[in-house]
Amino acid sequence: MHPLIDARTLARARGNDDLVILDVRWRLTGPPGIESYRAGHLPGAVFVDLDRELAGEPGPPGRHPLPSPEAFQAAMRRAGVNSGSQVVVYDDADATAAGRAWWCLRYFHHERVRVLDGGLRAWTEAGLPLETEAPSPVPGDFEARPGGLPVLDAEGAAAVAKSGILLDARAAERYRGEIEPVDPVAGHIPGAVNAPTWGNVGVDGRFLPGRVLRERFAVLGATDAAEVGVYCGSGVTAAHEVLALALAGVPAALYVGSWSNWVADAMNPVATGF
């Protein structure tokens, strides 16, 4: 199944009994996504809270560690996801949050999941309606089984940085260590290559064509012939980058704890600059 779906195709699929639409709008510094959801969402969409349902409790493992299989399964069942559901996830536009939902579902072995390319913006620009009423889905039977996609821990990320290609999906100034708005230490994992997520989408928030993404990542050394890993601040935007790499035909592992986990251990080295 192709990872993306466009607004018109999704609108035509809305009558399908097996379709589940998840609104995962989220911003690092707020406001909470539920406020945007209540103001207007895709018809039938169920809100999923990224901080509480697509991640575990913050701590040394990171600001957005993996949710437990039991917690993720319960969240998806509450949202009406069945084992055979066709799930479509969306955020405001650029799949920063939707990429995390896509990744989590794939990691827990749900194959039928797609991202609405361009998100809510693409939907409204197509002249399609929104609603404010929250649905009450019938609980689903989804079973969460870890291991559907590869992951890295700190040791694995360090190894990939040495022998493969470790991409840092954060903004260049955070990678260089010039600023750090969230975590206590600025800089990057030694050997990592900067590949900000904004380079994966156009000004409309839609992903660039696969061939363009392939060229972008190839310049950085990330090809299907290399061992590729990705991290960001806390494993959210890096999941978006894993999705972009998938569109480019490049398998990649996610360092879920990312920078927030790396700097939790004072023994881990930190690099600055390029």
Report whether 253 contacts 226 (CB < 8 A). no
Percent helix, percent strand, percent coil in the chain, to nearest 5: 30, 15, 55
**Residue 223, helix vs strand vs coil:** coil
First to last CA, the chain: 38
Residue 129, C-beta contacts closer than 8 angstroms, at least 6 positions apart: 43
- Helix (H) or strand (E) run with residue 231 in it: strand 228-231
Tokens for 114? 């797609």
- Dist CA 109 CA 24 (whole Å): 19
In the 8-state DSSP scheme, what is residue 222? -
- Dist CA 165 CA 219 (whole Å): 11
Question: Strand ranges (DSSP E) for 24-112?
Answer: 46-47, 86-90
**Residues acting as catalytic residues:** 232
